[in-house]
A and B are shown apart, each in its own frame.
Chain A
Amino acid sequence: MQLPDPSFLLIQCLSGLTYAMFLFLIASGLSLIFGILRVLNFAHGSFYMLGAYLTYQFVSYFINSPAYFWWAVLFASVSVALIGGIIEMLLLSRLYVREELNQLLFTYALVLILGDFAKIIWGTGQLSISRPAILKGAVQIFGQYFPEYNIFIILLGPGIALLFWLIMTHTRWGRIIRAAALDREMLGTLGVNVSWLFTVVFTIGAWMAGLGGALVAPIAAIVPGMDVEIIISAFIVVVIGGLGSFWGTLLGAVILGQVISFGILVLPRLSMVFIYILMAVVLILRPWGLLGKPLKR
């Protein structure tokens, strides 16, 4: 068997990384919400989907502005954050005292409601928007072309990861959020309004999902069903990396991105199978994920 051209492999690797950065953005929001609120948010993929649809919508509003794409990304991701915050404040916050099953059913209900909502407003067809003007081109890497927009995403991912890490470790807000993940009752007795903190964390998580959806809009089809597709992948990422572990999420996203990207080369129809095998192996050997910690209750 002849080995493929190295530059082709590099491009494949970069494609995998692009996908990984979206997965990271979604999965880290999911992981953050689980880590602090102890709620597994099925609707996280729906926030991602809303981010993409709203970007499509805002692009049509801002089309006459030169930086219309960036405005649309900003407005769409912030709208999703606000929707998330309102949902947490008015509805989800009432369910923390209930069993976990009630919370799961609630977030699953949100998946169905938001999915139908999107179909009613934007229909069932496939929508798309074009890449922003300044990133329309492609760069040549060893003779192969690779889109500039994807390079932007590959650079943005670690940037957001770094920013996030700095906030969590070097700001008082970050320290309070980490403390909330460890012992929320104790934190309350120290004078921190934990229910407000939960709203803020859920809003940030929803914003990350919305931003992921907004940024994926120019390079993916905006269709009903993108919510469920991404949430499954995001769950796999956090299972592999370790739910609640920040670096684990990044590692899980990179692994998943690469396995899908190269799996397609080896056995195109079975690329997802590799992922499930990997997840099964991790679950058997390290049920808490590669970089996670065993959950204490």
Chain B
Amino acid sequence: MILEVTDIYTSYGLSQILFGVSLKVETGEVVSLLGRNGVGKTTTLRSIMGLTPPHSGSITWKGKEIARKLPHQIARMGIGFVPEDRRIFSDLTVWENLDVAIKSAKKTGQGWTMERVFELFPALKPIQKRRGGYLSGGEQQMLTIARTLMGNPNLLLLDEPSEGLAPIVVHQLGNQIMKLRQEGMTILLCEQNARFSLQLSDRLYILEKGVVRYRGSVADFRKDEEAYKTYLAL
């Protein structure tokens, strides 16, 4: 077990968002976290990353408790966070955005370099000197994933990567995530776009109002028409 979230309760100020969420991610797996807007998907990722720490429950990573650690410590232990609104450093160039994210690979054994990142996202290579603020939505999404990869994570937390992108760009992004998966990257993928997410994933969790309502393999879920209708049909 590489990541294990057990019964976490998380609040933003006075409003409680998560009511005892538990989930597991195994090494090399791609796991989808699905659900409609506002059910706590982003909060789950932010809890894991230490940005909104849970007030109770436990989160273990490679066997160590991380629920009370700070975001930069969690990042250094090998968890990479790709936020939903991309959050590119707009005044920094593409190259500079990648450069500030470089972390030593000693602890994680990954070997991401600028060249490797440009191999995965060839579109970024010719625009290295462009400022982050002048990129298209798709380019920004690629850059934000590339930037997180520069930190050599063992696990990627991807928050709504397909949001606001044109269908063709979403398709391309799907291929790139697939490639990451083939290279053995472990991914926890939050999505509203279930179709996009499920074709990339081994297992899934469905959140509703801060509680996990469904868990299982993608193959089983596809056969279970009732569950599909209940949770995902809009």
**Chain A positions near chain B (C-beta within 8 angstroms):** 172, 175-176, 178-179, 182-183, 185-194
Query: Can you name 17 extra interface pairs (CB under 8 A) apart from A188-B75, A191-B103, A194-B72?
Result: A172-B102, A175-B99, A175-B100, A178-B92, A182-B89, A182-B90, A186-B87, A186-B89, A189-B51, A189-B74, A190-B100, A190-B103, A191-B75, A191-B76, A191-B101, A192-B100, A193-B72
Chain B neighbourhood of A178, CB < 8 A: 89, 91-92, 96
A131 to chain B, nearest CB (A): 41
Chain A neighbourhood of B99, CB < 8 A: 172, 175
B233 to chain A, nearest CB (A): 34
Nearest chain-B residue to A188 (Cβ)?
B71
| B residues 73-122 touching A (CB-CB < 8 Å) | 74-76, 81, 83, 87, 89-92, 96-97, 99-103
| B100 contacts A183, C-beta separation under 8 Å | no
| A188 contacts B92, C-beta separation under 8 Å | no
B40 within 8 Å of A (CB atoms)? no
Chain B neighbourhood of A179, CB < 8 A: 89, 92, 96-97, 100
A273 to chain B, nearest CB (A): 36
Nearest chain-B residue to A190 (Cβ)?
B101
CA distance A224 to B70 in the complex (A): 43
B151 within 8 Å of A (CB atoms)? yes
Given contacts A175-B92, A182-B91, A182-B92, contact A187 B100 (CB under 8 A): yes
From A182, A185, A190, give the contact of B151 (CB < 8 A). Answer: A190
Chain B neighbourhood of A186, CB < 8 A: 83, 87, 89
B197 within 8 Å of A (CB atoms)? no
| B151 contacts A191, C-beta separation under 8 Å | yes
Chain B neighbourhood of A185, CB < 8 A: 51, 71
Chain A neighbourhood of B207, CB < 8 A: none
CA distance A187 to B101 in the complex (A): 8
| A189 contacts B92, C-beta separation under 8 Å | no
B192 within 8 Å of A (CB atoms)? no
Chain B neighbourhood of A182, CB < 8 A: 89-92
How many A-B residue pairs have C-beta atoms within 8 angstroms? Tell me. Answer: 61
CA distance A183 to B87 in the complex (A): 8
Chain A neighbourhood of B150, CB < 8 A: 190
Classify the interface of chain A: helix, strand, loop or mixed: helix
Chain A neighbourhood of B97, CB < 8 A: 179
A-B interface, 6 closest residue pairs, ranked by CB to CB distance from nearest: A191-B75, A188-B71, A189-B81, A190-B101, A186-B87, A179-B89
B68 to chain A, nearest CB (A): 15
Nearest chain-A residue to B75 (Cβ)?
A191
CA distance A245 to B90 in the complex (A): 15
Chain B neighbourhood of A192, CB < 8 A: 72, 100
From A172, A187, A188, give the contact of B70 (CB < 8 A). Answer: A188
CA distance A194 to B100 in the complex (A): 13
| B49 contacts A176, C-beta separation under 8 Å | no
| B residues 195-211 touching A (CB-CB < 8 Å) | none
Chain A neighbourhood of B141, CB < 8 A: none
CA distance A185 to B49 in the complex (A): 11
B99 to chain A, nearest CB (A): 6
CA distance A177 to B151 in the complex (A): 18
CA distance A172 to B98 in the complex (A): 11
CA distance A57 to B75 in the complex (A): 46
Nearest chain-A residue to B102 (Cβ)?
A172
B27 to chain A, nearest CB (A): 21
CA distance A187 to B148 in the complex (A): 10
B100 to chain A, nearest CB (A): 5
B147 within 8 Å of A (CB atoms)? yes
| B75 contacts A183, C-beta separation under 8 Å | no
A296 to chain B, nearest CB (A): 10
B13 to chain A, nearest CB (A): 12
CA distance A175 to B101 in the complex (A): 10
CA distance A192 to B100 in the complex (A): 9
Chain B neighbourhood of A189, CB < 8 A: 49, 51, 71-72, 74-75, 81, 83
A25 to chain B, nearest CB (A): 24
Query: What are 19 A-B contacts defined by CB distance under 8 Å?
Result: A175-B92, A175-B99, A179-B92, A179-B97, A185-B71, A186-B83, A186-B87, A186-B89, A187-B100, A188-B51, A188-B71, A188-B75, A190-B72, A190-B100, A190-B101, A190-B150, A190-B151, A191-B103, A192-B72
Chain A neighbourhood of B90, CB < 8 A: 182
- Specify which of B96, B103, B147 lies most central, judged by the most chain A CB atoms within 10 Å of its CB: B96
CA distance A191 to B114 in the complex (A): 17
Chain A neighbourhood of B51, CB < 8 A: 185, 188-189
B58 to chain A, nearest CB (A): 20
- Specify which of A172, A179, A189 lies most central, judged by the most chain B CB atoms within 10 Å of its CB: A189
CA distance A190 to B101 in the complex (A): 6
Chain B neighbourhood of A191, CB < 8 A: 72, 75-76, 101, 103, 151
| A190 contacts B148, C-beta separation under 8 Å | yes
CA distance A176 to B98 in the complex (A): 11
